[in-house]
Amino acid sequence: MERQHPGRLQRTGIPDDEPEYLPAVRLPSAAELLAAAQESYLHTMVRAQIDWVRAGREVDADGRPADCPAYLETIGKHLAQDPETTDGALRFWDVMVRTGVLHVDASRSLAWPGPGAIALKGGDAQSAVGAWRDFLIEYLVACGEKAEDDPDVPKECPGITFIVDLYAHGGPVPVDRLASNLDAGAPTIIELHSNALIHAGLVERRGPLVGVTPLGKLVCHTLLQEATGMTIPVLGCYADADAVTLLNALAAYRMEHIGDEAQGWVHARSVEAGVAEIVAALHEVGPFARRAGLDLLAGTFGAQFGQEGRNALVSLTADPKLGALAHGLLTPEEKRQVDEPSRAATMWALVDLAEMSAATRPFPEMLQECGYVGQPADKMPKLVDGLADTEHPWAVHLLDAMIAHHPEAVVVEAARTARRRLPGPEREPA
């Protein structure tokens, strides 16, 4: 991520074919976020401005308060009326105008509460949180603009960059860690910026640790969506999705979030219908999503599907493709009730596991990890030949990987022989 002037983020160095699904963000309800916002010092300041202009306040030719001393009084009586303070206060006024919290009627040289003020002080929590989020983002942009004009401020610190960097740490971190790569004066600057963000309700400080609040997560979520052009899901957003979409999404989720998302999905339908949808989707998704679906049926992430899920898992052991994958998740007692997986199902599972391994490591390492290297010479040709019979869509890639990267000539030749039975020219997998 890089900053775009004036303080936004932009996506850089990321392939165009990046996966569509991303890990979800856990956010509180709109009512909880609004309550947190209303407790912040910044929200109090903005409400004071709305009340101050309610009857209409005269503005100058630039659309700023004509009575600047009176305006400064509404922000804080302790503020000195020096040029730097005045400039910062007027920037704050500009943010309120740009976000519609205040409306300037140029024809009458008056300022009034704007549509953003109506949303902030209205009864709809979702609208109020949306208006406050937009205000906060513009406020952070203004912090970045101010820093661009100040050569003494490290560019890593201001506004948006500071809070997104803090968010990326995944939890509270010592202030010293944030300052470790900056100039000698950075700790003082970081202290100033963290205090400003604390007043905004975006950051909280607990002893030597500083972290992003839920309200700060909401802002970062919006900023990152804007920067990437991608939809970053909020936990619970797939409740009405079909099973294929759900499983594809869960493949990108953090482990601790899968159970909650699945619970919301099951809640929108009966358990029996949910199990049937998951089972039907297992053949339509990739290996990571398939594993997520099997784990849901097994109860790995909670009892959302109960015994119905376990029963479906037992039934799947007879499936010619999924049987071995399902069998691996059975309890010892359940395994005694079913037959061993067929050879076809075992071969399918081998290809599935190889595809998952290859997604996170180079092909030579994948072949090592999956046990295809160093096996008895009389065992491998038969096993490799069976890979071509699986009808697994990734079998051709596994065989190509063996041809290109396996260190043993007998395995390479077996893979080449098996590969001739499959469509398409032999090629080194990307």
Give the residue from 234, 252, 285 where a domain finishes. Answer: 234
The structural domain count of the chain equals 3
Q: Is the peptide bond before 364 cis (omega within 30 degrees of 0)?
A: no
Higher pLDDT, 400 or 229: 400
Pair 312, 359 in one domain: no
Q: Are residues 75 and 140 in the same domain?
A: yes
Q: Are residues 294 and 365 both part of a single domain?
A: no
Distances (CA, A) of 414 to 358, 383, 421: 20, 9, 12
Looking at the fold, whether 275 and 227 belong to one and the same domain comes out as no
Regarding whether 120 and 147 lie in a shared domain, the answer is: yes
- Answer yes or no: is 406 within a domain: yes
Residue 195 lies in a domain: yes
Separation between Cα atoms, residue 360 and residue 13, nearest integer Å: 19
Q: Is 258 helix (H, G, I), strand (E, B) or coil?
A: helix
**Greatest distance between any 2 Cα atoms in the chain:** 92
pLDDT recorded at residue 398: 96
Task: State whether 228 and 101 are in the same domain.
Answer: yes
Q: Looking at the structure, tell me whether residues 180 and 51 fall in a common domain.
A: yes
Token reading at 305: 């599907």
At a CB cut-off of 8 Å and minimum separation 6, what does 98 contact? Answer: 138
Based on the domain organization, do 230 and 247 belong to the same domain?
A: no
427 lies in some domain: no
Question: Is the pLDDT score of 207 beyond 90?
Answer: no
Last residue of a domain, one of 341, 372, 396: 341
Q: State the CB neighbour count (10 A cutoff) for residue 156.
A: 18
**Statement to judge: residues 142 and 161 lie in one domain:** yes
Whether residue 184 lies inside any domain: the answer is yes
* Mean pLDDT lowest among 49-58, 187-196, 269-278: 187-196
Q: Can you tell me the distance from the alpha carbon of 362 to that of 327, in angstroms, rounded to the nearest whole number? A: 28
- 144 and 63 in a common domain: yes
Average pLDDT over residues 57-73: 92
Locate 378 and state its tokens. Answer: 């009389």
Classify residue 430: in a domain, yes or no: no
Residue 180 lies in a domain: yes
Lowest-confidence pick of 8-22, 154-168, 292-306, 362-376: 8-22
Predicted model pTM: 0.75
Identity of the highest mean pLDDT range in 19-28, 116-125, 192-201, 420-429: 116-125
Domain-embedded: residue 426? no
Same domain, 180 and 210: yes
Query: Span 151-158, mean pLDDT?
Result: 45
pLDDT value of position 75? 78
DSSP assignment of 98-143, as one string?
Answer: HTTSEEEETTTTEEEE-HHHHHHHSS-HHHHHHHHHHHHHHHHHHH
Domain extent, residue 189, equals 1-234
**Residue 37: which of 170, 162, 211, 199 has the closest Cα?**
199
Mean pLDDT of the chain: 86
Question: Residue 9: pLDDT band by 50, 70, 90 thresholds?
Answer: very low
Which of 320, 341, 362 is where one domain is finished? 341
Q: Does 107 map to a domain? A: yes
